[in-house]
Amino acid sequence: MSLPVAPLEVSQGGMEVVPQQQMGGGQMSLSVLIEMLVQKTYHELTILAELLPRKTDMERKIEIFNFASRTRMLFVRLLGLVKWASSASKVEKCSNIVMFLEKQSGMFLDTANQLAGMSRETLVRATLPNFHLPAAAEILTTGTYSRLPRCISERIIPPSAITPVERRTTLLRLNQVIENRLVSSNIPLQMRNLVVADGTVTFTVKLEFSCKLTVLGDSLTQPWTLLGVDMLVEDRETGQGKALMHSMQVGYVRGLAQSRLVESSQPLDDLYSVLHSLAQLLQLEVLHTQVVRLCQDRLGMYIRVEEYILGRALTISYWRELASKDPVQEAGWRLSVQVDPHDPARPLMVVHTPALTLKEAELAERSIRTERLSVESLLVHTIYVRTRARLTELKTLVQKRLKLGGVEATLHGSPAVLSIPILQPCLRSEQLLVSVDTHTGIFLGHVPQYPTNPFSPQIQNCLNTDQTQLETLVTELRYWITARRIEKTLQQLPATPFEQLPLVYDLKTHPLSKLGRHKMFIKLHKQPSTVLVVEFIEKTDRECEIQYSFYYLLTKPCSIEDDPVDDSITKEIPRVYMKALGMVEFDPFLVTHGSTTKVDVQELSEKIIGKRKPGGKVEAPIKRTRFPAYFISDLAHVVSFADERIPFTSLEQELARQGVSHTGTSVETNGVGLAIKIVQFPTVPGLQQREEKLFSSRLLSATIRLSRNPLSMWVVEWLLCGSPLNSTQSMGKPLYSQFKLENLADCEKTVVSLVGEWNSMAHLHSLVREYSRYSRVVDLVTIQSYNYRNIVLEYGPGQIYSATITWSVSSSSFSLTFGGSGAAAGMNPHCIMKSQLEINLNKERSLALLGRILQETVGPVRSLSRLPCTPHKWMSTNSQQRNTAIQTFSVLPQSPTHVKVMFYNIHCVDVHIRADGLVSIRDGSFSMFDQTKVLTDLEPIRGFKAFLYKYVDEAALARRTSQTEDDNPPSPLTMEQDQTGLKFAPPLTPPSNPLTPVSPHGQQSTFLQSPPTHRQPSASPAPSPGLFPIPSPLPAGSPFTAASPLGGGSPRPRPSPRHPGSSPNPSAALPPSSHQTPSRILPQRLWAAAIPTPLTTKAFDELCRPSSLPGSSSCGLVSPLHRFLGCVFMRRQLQHIIKSEEYLTNLDTREPSVIAFKVESLQCKVSINPDNSFQSLHLKVAPDDPSQWQSDQLLIIQKFFDAKVVAPPYRPTFLSGFCRLLHCPQETLKNIVQLMKYEVLPELVVQNKLKWAVSLCLTIPPVAPNVFPVGQAGIIGNKEKILIFMQLTRANVQLPPGQEPLSVVVPVIYNISQNQTILASLQKELNNPSLHAVQSHLTSWARSNPPTMGRCSILPAIHDLLMNLTLPNEGPAYSGPVQMQSMM
């Protein structure tokens, strides 16, 4: 027989799971070790929890610290062990092997020993017993064994239990025996709460003990048997719910009580005596323990155990601080919990010193008659009773000494608080609250609303010491609270209260010196020189009520050194003081019952049935408004009265001073407020007396009122009768004007604004009257609205533009505001001519003329507003102005119909807007008085006359001329008089600079068709009678002519008398097309453009409207005028570059308007194209040796020049960069031309499936602004190196809508001598990842493709870059086969 061998169990980590103590290695499982440490820590915590509550605070802290230190060190060692074990894997493996082998060896040895012992000792005597079959059969069949020996059955086997019926019968019989014994025994009165059940009797004495007795027989001499005792005394505050007696003590008590039951003749009396004495001892011990704990924790300074007799009495003293101050109470305040000396069987009793009344003592003793025995509750009840007693005595004293009258102080709350109302009426938060400190017994006084008032501490000190000053301190507190009430009343009013002000006055004679000590000064916000003085005193015999007096004090700023007698003697120092002038007392009854307040005094009959109206209706009785106690309604009425009346009084004086007649301040109907009615305004300056009278006749009334919601504003109500625009004289809706309520010193501003408002309405009324006269017979611009304050005109196509005319009081002139609606909501074109139109309106004072000007000029001005005004740098040939931004077009209005348009501050175009839809244009660089003289800083516009004649519509001009000449026969003027073409005289002084606008206050400027003669044109020729049947609304100086737009009836330029033959001969009329070139001989002289050229507004709009140029390779929308001036500007810049650069050679040519120059082996000719109205420049390149160049290469250069060089924004640096490009060596230039081909023909990028598209930068982009200025020529080089900026843009990729393709600017340097193409290092560190990728790509290409003599490396390097460059953030790539030979 073999014994099973225990298997070896190995954990997942390879560590053997062994029993807690193994042989050999002496190892232990980590989990077992951790469990042991946790169990040890938990055991120590359990011991601490049981022992610490019975120790002092310092001992508890020491034990907790020692426990924390031991536990920390223990777990620190465990942490070190775990860290070592996790790192000792090799030792662990070896240890496991050794342990395994040792255990295996031990098992083999033990198995061999056991087998040997079994074979030698155990199995030698091993025999089977003879089985007892009868006993087995009996047990299996009956379940019992009857053959057990008697010695065993009688001594070991217990007798059979009685049945439940027998048990119930026995217990009922036992209950009867106990009841019989109780009837015959003497039971103490306290133990008569008993229960007999289950053969026992249970006696319960509430809050003391409970015991269970029985008898062991029915004999009367059989003593009581005590089954159990339960003490009902508990300590729930400090005992933590644990039993007060140990089990051994309980056993001793049971033994003692049982002995008394056996030996005594009165067993139940003795039992009660023992247990009752024990219960009282426990109660006193619990109370003593709680007192000691209270002294240690919280109340050691306030209570003390005076005497403790074990099991007899416990005496506690409290309010010891009060006892030390009160000589009457030498024994102090004490309470003693003790056993009744007369009847020890009664419960514990409480004795108070000093003695309490019977009712108060019963209230205090309730705390120890509860299940929760607490000495703190006993102290609280006792101190509460003491507190109410002290406050009751104080209440009687206060009621008598403070003379509260009908107001009574109240005592309420727990802890008890005495509330003393010191004012009438008085809020609960304003009452003086007096309580007793439960710890010390002293009085505490405070006011809840004002916890930091200075008098509460003094009153408290007075109550606890000498009470003689109580009345005085309460009076001061009453005055102090009244001052705070005044401050609260004024919180929402425009006034600030002060207890003191720096007032200077005579202490002997001034009324201020007669006022009492208790007063407040109130400064009104709107009237800084006004001060209201409020004096408040107690009423006689009713000290709780306050009587107020109000005074009005007028002051003025002064210094401390001013003469108090002579006001004219002042010192020049800061005036920080206020000199008190006169003072007047207010009558509160008159203020609160004035004309603007509702009287609340009624007769007795009205109070009962209400006030009867004449119609038989009865008004309800007036309900008096109830205000909170802190709100002084009379003060609020006085402040409001002063704040409202003073501004009206000051305004009356200022109105009279400025000549405005008025009726004075009066109360409006039904007492709704105050108002001042204006009777007459002063004379309106700058307005005719007749116009002023007409407008004054329309004024029915002007009423000034003061509005307080939400801000204080003067509101003027204007009632005007009718309007000049209609014939009815009915009263319209009232108009309202608002003016800021100024201070008294600044009241003049209000009157000035009011008079200015009147002047504004009068001036605008005169404009509308003048307009209404002419509107009856002719069509004028529509007045959209007129409300006496502004006039809104609507004009333009579809009435989408508006002009608002107002009168500026500050400048005493009309002002214009332009706006629009619908499509014109963004911008009104007349904004650029705002100043000129305002000057014209103020000069002519004609609304009809202004409307005519706006209607006639809206088209040309809208066309001018389309010209771009973008600023650009490097646009000037002057080196000092190259870095200055210059606008493309600068529109400089000279008058409402005359505008100068500057192009890059070099060329000037004079635009005159004429009537009947015509515009005259000339070269503004020529003087208007000497056409051969060019103004300073300006350049003539070459070919400007020919360009303008491309847009002349002869047919339209002929129609306008014939219509005008039919209506208005030409006046017999000389040729000199007829040259003006305008109906106003030229300026008296010609402008010296075109950038300086002509003064619009003089005569209107004009163009001269020829140089001036000795005779000036008429300043104001008579208007045509055919335009208006009544006197013309257009006064002298009108900018429009009613006759021929050119004055002489013909739009053609006339020969000058000073220069005969200089003007071309007139030719036949042209067809209506405005773009066909008229067959006329142009002047040969440069100043031919100084002669005005008439255009229709449609042609002028086409001249300024951005459009595309047919047949041009440049993209974008540019106006024809912009293109033409750009071409003239670029031709001039090209001439300057040819003269300044040494590598360019100027070539003479006989072709007109052609610039020829030579660079390297190429001859270039730049000419302006007349086929597209002179709006583009073209380059023609011819090599010296045609065999060196292919025709397509020259064509690419020409196309690149047309599309990229002479294109908007027409930068001179484009030309400089292009010329430097042509200056490159021939082989280098050919390579660059091949790169140009990708830019000129973008379809090649798609055909060749290039990854990147290339564009040459003719100006330097903002790559390295510290090295090269932005905007300079983008091609920089010398004989050895060339710097070229290229922009690479991602191509042949599908992008989401709205996303721009990725692009990068690459500065490339080509080394001519070494034939190397590298990336230029413009910065010290290459921080740009894109440029870093380009540099890496070019470096790797240069390593794999060494330089070849005779072949430039620019094109192969850049082409490889366009094919294979990969940037870090470029996105998806596109690859495809490329044929390099197609580009070579």
Render pLDDT for 805-841 as a digit per residue (tens, 0 to 9).
Answer: 999 999 999 999 999 988 888 789 999 999 999 999 9
Picking from 978, 948, 952, 976, the residue whose alpha carbon sits closest to that of residue 965 is 978
Q: Which helix (H) or strand (E) holds 1139?
A: helix 1120-1140
At position 846, the amino acid (one-letter code) is: S
Instruction: With beta carbons less than 8 A apart as the criterion, state whether 656 and 662 touch.
Output: yes
Which amino acid, residue 592? T
413 pLDDT higher than 90: no
For 681-714, the pLDDT digits (tens) are: 999 999 999 999 999 999 999 999 988 777 778 9
More confident residue, 1270 or 610: 1270
For 263-293, the DSSP string reads H-SSHHHHHHHHHHHHHHHHHHHHHHHHHHH
* Cis? peptide before 1209, omega within 30° of 0: yes
Output the six-digit token pair for 1320: 């230029």
Q: What is the C-alpha to C-alpha distance for residues 1139 and 1216, in angstroms, rounded to an integer?
A: 12
CB neighbours of 672 closer than 8 A, spacing ≥ 6?
Answer: none
Question: Strands 503-504 and 577-586: what pairing?
Answer: parallel
Query: Residue 1277's CB: how many other CB atoms inside 10 A?
Result: 18
Q: What is the pLDDT of residues 414-426, one digit of tens each?
A: 889 999 998 888 8
Q: pTM for the full model? A: 0.58
pLDDT level of residue 314 (50, 70, 90 thresholds): very high
1106 touches 1159 (CB < 8 A): no
Checking DSSP bridges between strand 542-558 and strand 577-586, what pairing results, if any? Answer: antiparallel
Range picked from 45-54, 538-547, 628-637, 854-863 for highest mean pLDDT: 854-863
Which of left, alpha, beta for 401 (phi over 0: left; psi -120 to 50: alpha)? alpha
What pLDDT is recorded for position 73? 94
pLDDT at 563: 63
Q: In the prediction, which pLDDT does 1017 show?
A: 36
554-557 long-range Cβ contacts below 8 angstroms, 24+ apart: 554/529, 554/530, 554/580, 554/581, 554/582, 554/583, 555/503, 555/529, 555/530, 555/531, 555/579, 555/580, 555/581, 556/529, 556/581
Nearest-angstrom CA–CA distance, 1216 and 1133: 9
599 in Cβ contact with 573 (< 8 Å): no
Of 103-107, 350-354, 858-862, which range is least confident? 350-354
Go through the chain and tell me how many residues it has: 1384
Highest mean pLDDT among 126-130, 157-161, 1264-1268: 157-161
Six-digit token string for 677: 């009615």
Per-residue pLDDT tens over the stretch 1077-1102 = 343 333 445 567 788 999 999 999 99
| 127-136, 337-346, 1126-1135: the lowest-pLDDT one | 127-136
Average model confidence (pLDDT) across the chain:
80
- CA-CA distance, 235 to 27, in Å (whole number)? 51
pLDDT value of residue 879: 62
Mean pLDDT, to the nearest integer, of 651-672?
85
Res 316: pLDDT: 92
What is the Cα–Cα distance from 461 to 457, expressed in whole angstroms? 6
Peptide bond into 710 cis (omega under 30): yes
pLDDT at 326 (0 to 100): 72
User: Residues 470, 475, 479, 485: is their CA dihedral positive or negative?
Assistant: positive
Residues 1056 and 1070: their CA atoms lie apart, in Å, by: 24
Give mean pLDDT, residues 302-329. 85
pLDDT at 17 over 90: no
Q: What is the pLDDT of residues 979-1016, one digit of tens each?
A: 333 333 333 333 434 334 444 334 333 333 333 333 33
Radius of gyration, CA atoms only, the chain: 60
SS3 729: coil
Q: Which of 620-629, 977-986, 1035-1044, 1223-1232 has the lowest mean pLDDT?
A: 977-986
**What is the distance between the alpha carbons of residues 765 and 752, in angstroms, rounded to a whole number?**
20
Closest CA to 670 of 565, 596, 747, 579: 596
CB 585 within 8 A of CB 560: no
The predicted pLDDT at position 1371 comes to: 58
pLDDT of residue 1008: 31
Consecutive H or E run containing 805: strand 801-808
Is pLDDT of 26 > 80?
no
Q: pLDDT grade, residue 791 (50/70/90)? A: very high
Model pLDDT for residues 833-860, shown as the tens digit of each residue: 999 999 999 999 999 999 999 999 999 9
Judge contact between 1180 and 1220, C-beta under 8 A: no
* Residue 193 φ then ψ, to 5°: -90, 90
Please list, in sequence order, all residues whose beta carbon lies within 8 angstroms of the beta carbon of residue 3, skipping any fewer than 6 positions away.
111, 114
Contacts of 960 (CB under 8 A, 6+ apart): 916, 917, 918, 1045
Query: In which band, very low, low, confident or very high, does the pLDDT at 598 lie, cut at 50, 70 and 90?
Result: low
Between residues 572 and 1155, the one the model is more confident about: 1155
- Residue 226 phi, psi dihedral angles, 5° rounding: -85, 115
Q: What share of the chain in percent tops pLDDT 90?
A: 28
Residue 966's alpha-carbon distances to 207, 979, 1284, in angstroms, are 135, 20, 67
pLDDT beyond 60 at 217? yes
SS3 1304: strand
Under 8 Å between Cβ of 406 and 421 = no
Mutual angle of helices 847-865 and 747-775, in 10-degree steps: 90
Neighbours of 69 (CB within 10 A): 10
